[in-house]
């Protein structure tokens, strides 16, 4: 397994083409806006080195019997599924940000069972190709970005009906040695901190969309791939050189538009090419795994936000107020509800035909449906308790100013025993988690990541087995089925 230092060094060897604020970035690793997100991924390697976290952060490869980072592992039991959620909560607690590596873990687990079932039915050899890549991924301890979301254009039209065919990634040429693909993937979490990209279709395809039913892997710096870095609220605070106003100066997340400009993919790296009837299964399983993930990562970040809010109450001198205590209890209740759903869908998982384990899909969708709602209430309560100073206090430069710094210290103190700087730091952290750059990974991602709310409601409708519930009611009411 890679050490944290080796991971950072491996990124420096990549020749990524990244645009940020209209300029080509010479060194993504050390760019002040990008680096905090790299630090978050780096934590997935750092914790795996520590003996006290080995049980959660590592697993035994079913391919080699060697110890591997859990992010490179295929779930072999419900215990693996549960440990995944616990690991994600831990990392959320350590970074208070999106640590980005979950998407690739969820992608490999979805691809494993789907490629196996494709081969069983169609006589293809996609699963063998997938296993060869997985073996490399485990041996090299790669961070892999799972790329599913296309720009989509007109949502009322199928991929092949779009005015611009490139609004969904598609095959433009088939060669004897591989395929050429064109298009883009949007909102790509952690793409610039990844070694490889695993592309999947974004929706269930029909026969007319066969060219869009494509799955493959490519190096993150492959010829023809480039990235346009996404803006986040308050992101330029990272350019100011301080640590207070950023809120979370060490860690962060990022998203990017990933463009495929006629990228060549050798056949050995292709896992689906035109088998449209399996595209829906790949989308649903990836989405299910990723909806499970949110019962861990968002809970870990929630733990930090709740702790910050409790400290704000202490620093404001209101911690003993009954309504403050009640609001903190409510925040904890909501956060643990999310965690309970993540654990439940894991414990109720089942074995697939390929041998890896799939979560309970109904409960995974219930988990994510709750995630689209409860973090917003947790954030609202945090802002309520923190108070208006969270968004009106002066800057760190004002605090450091030799003339007015003492004035800032004097008038923005809370409890006299707590330094004004400490109060400012905790309020900026709450601002960051609920309004700033971290709010992308905590709130907006809670809403739209792994599918927006209606996507989960559709799956709950499909899997909720309403017909069986009617029969249960008939039996109790003694109504005969005719």
The catalytic position among 44, 143, 189, 309 is 189
pLDDT at position 482? 76
Residue owning tokens 């829906």: 280
Residue range 168-218, pLDDT digits in tens: 999 999 999 999 999 999 999 999 999 999 999 999 999 999 999 999 999
Q: What is the pLDDT of residue 341?
A: 98
Asked whether 459 and 284 are in contact (CB, 8 A), the reply is yes
Residue 346: both structure tokens together: 């894991």
pLDDT score at 28: 98
- What pTM does this model have? 0.97
Catalytic residue among 255, 275, 284, 396: 255
Distance (Å, whole) CA 248 – CA 375: 18
Kindly state the tokens that stand for 407.
């004035």
Active site residue 98: yes
- Locate 100 and state its tokens: 């980005």
DSSP for 260-320?
EEEEEEEGGGEEEES-GGGHHHHHHHHHHHHHHHHHHHHHHHHHHHHHHHHHHHHHHT-TT
DSSP character at residue 243: S
Based on C-alpha coordinates, what's the Rg of the chain? 24
From the first residue on, what is the mean pLDDT of each consecutive set of 10 residues in the chain (482 residues)? 98 98 97 98 98 98 98 98 98 98 98 98 98 98 98 97 98 98 97 98 97 98 98 95 96 97 98 98 98 98 98 98 98 98 98 98 98 98 97 98 98 98 98 94 94 94 95 95 78
Measure the CA–CA gap between 374 and 337, rounded to whole angstroms.
9
Please, what is the end-to-end C-alpha distance for the chain in angstroms?
62
Quick one: which H or E segment has residue 364?
A: helix 361-371
The one catalytic residue among 212, 294, 339, 357: 294
For residue 242, what pLDDT is reported? 95
Residue 294 designated active-site: yes
Among candidate residues 117, 284, 396, 445, the one labeled active-site is 445
User: Which of 138, 260, 132 lies closest to 188, judged by CA?
Assistant: 260
415 contacts 318 by C-beta, under 8 angstroms: no
The sheet carrying 214-219 orders its strands as: 144-147, 196-199, 214-219, 270-273
Q: How far is Cα 461 from Cα 473, in angstroms, rounded to an integer?
A: 18
Domain annotation for the chain: domains and CATH numbers: 282-472 (1.20.140.10)
Active site residue 102: yes
Contact 143, 311 (CB under 8 A): no
Q: What is the DSSP string of 74-105?
A: PP-SHHHHHHHHHHHHHHHHHHSS----HHHH
124-156 in b/e form (b: 16+ CB < 10 A) is bebbebbbebbeebbeebbbbbbbbbbbebeee
Other Cβ atoms within 10 Å of 242 Cβ, number: 15
pLDDT reported for residue 481: 81
Catalytic-role residue among 73, 75, 102, 437? 102
Structure letter (DSSP) for residue 478: T
Reading the block at residue 4, the tokens are: 């944290």
Q: Which residue among the candidates 72, 111, 273, 297 is catalytic per the annotation? A: 297
Q: What is residue 390's predicted lDDT score, i.e. its pLDDT?
A: 96
Residue 332 makes CB contacts below 8 A (sequence gap 6+) with 306
Has 481 been labeled as part of a binding site? no
3-state secondary structure 393-456: CCCHHHHHCCCCHHHHHHHCCCCCCCCHHHHHHHHHHHHHHHCCCHHHHHHHHHHHCCCCHHHH
């Amino acid at each position: 397994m890679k050490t944290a230092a080796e991971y950072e060094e491996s990124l420096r060897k990549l020749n990524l083409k990244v645009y940020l604020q209209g300029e080509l970035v010479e060194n993504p690793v050390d760019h002040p806006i990008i680096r905090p997100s790299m630090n978050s991924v780096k934590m997935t390697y750092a914790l795996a080195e520590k003996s006290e976290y080995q049980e959660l952060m590592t697993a035994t490869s079913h391919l080699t019997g060697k110890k591997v980072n859990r992010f490179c592992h295929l779930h072999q039991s419900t215990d693996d599924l549960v440990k995944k959620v616990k690991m994600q909560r831990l990392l959320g607690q350590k970074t208070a940000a999106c640590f980005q590596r979950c998407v690739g873990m969820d992608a490999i687990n979805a691809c494993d069972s789907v490629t196996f079932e494709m081969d069983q039915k169609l006589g293809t050899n996609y699963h063998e190709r997938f296993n060869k890549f997985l073996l490399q991924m485990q041996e090299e301890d790669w961070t892999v970005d799972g790329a599913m979301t296309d720009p989509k254009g007109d949502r009322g039209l199928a991929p092949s009906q779009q005015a611009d065919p490139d609004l969904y990634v598609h095959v433009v040429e088939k060669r004897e040695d591989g395929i050429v693909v064109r298009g883009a993937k949007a909102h790509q979490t952690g793409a610039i901190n990844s070694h490889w990209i695993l592309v999947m279709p974004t929706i269930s395809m029909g026969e007319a969309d066969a060219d869009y039913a494509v799955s493959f892997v490519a190096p993150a710096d492959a010829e023809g791939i480039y990235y346009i870095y996404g803006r986040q609220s308050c992101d330029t605070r990272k350019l100011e050189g301080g640590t207070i106003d950023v809120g979370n100066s060490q860690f962060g997340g990022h998203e990017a538009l990933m463009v495929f400009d006629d990228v060549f993919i050798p056949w050995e790296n292709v896992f689906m090419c035109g088998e449209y009837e399996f595209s829906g299964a790949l989308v649903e399983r990836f989405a299910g795994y990723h909806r499970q993930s949110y019962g861990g990562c968002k809970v870990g970040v929630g733990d930090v936000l709740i702790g910050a809010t409790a400290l704000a109450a202490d620093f404001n001198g209101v911690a003993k107020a009954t309504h403050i205590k009640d609001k903190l209890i409510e925040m904890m209740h909501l956060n643990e509800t999310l965690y309970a759903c993540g654990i439940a869908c894991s414990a109720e998982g089942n074995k697939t035909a390929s041998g890896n384990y799939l979560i309970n899909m109904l409960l995974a969708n219930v988990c994510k449906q709750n995630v689209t709602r409860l973090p917003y209430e947790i954030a609202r309560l945090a802002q309520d308790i923190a108070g208006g100073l969270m968004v009106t206090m002066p800057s760190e430069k004002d605090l450091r100013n030799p003339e007015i710094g003492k004035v800032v210290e004097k008038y923005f103190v809370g409890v006299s025993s707590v330094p004004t700087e400490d109060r400012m730091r905790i309020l900026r952290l709450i601002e960051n988690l609920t309004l700033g750059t971290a709010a992308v990974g905590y709130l907006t991602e809670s809403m739209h990541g792994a599918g927006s709310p209606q996507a989960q409601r559709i799956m709950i409708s499909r899997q909720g087995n309403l017909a069986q519930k009617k029969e249960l009611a008939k039996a109790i009411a003694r109504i005969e089925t005719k």
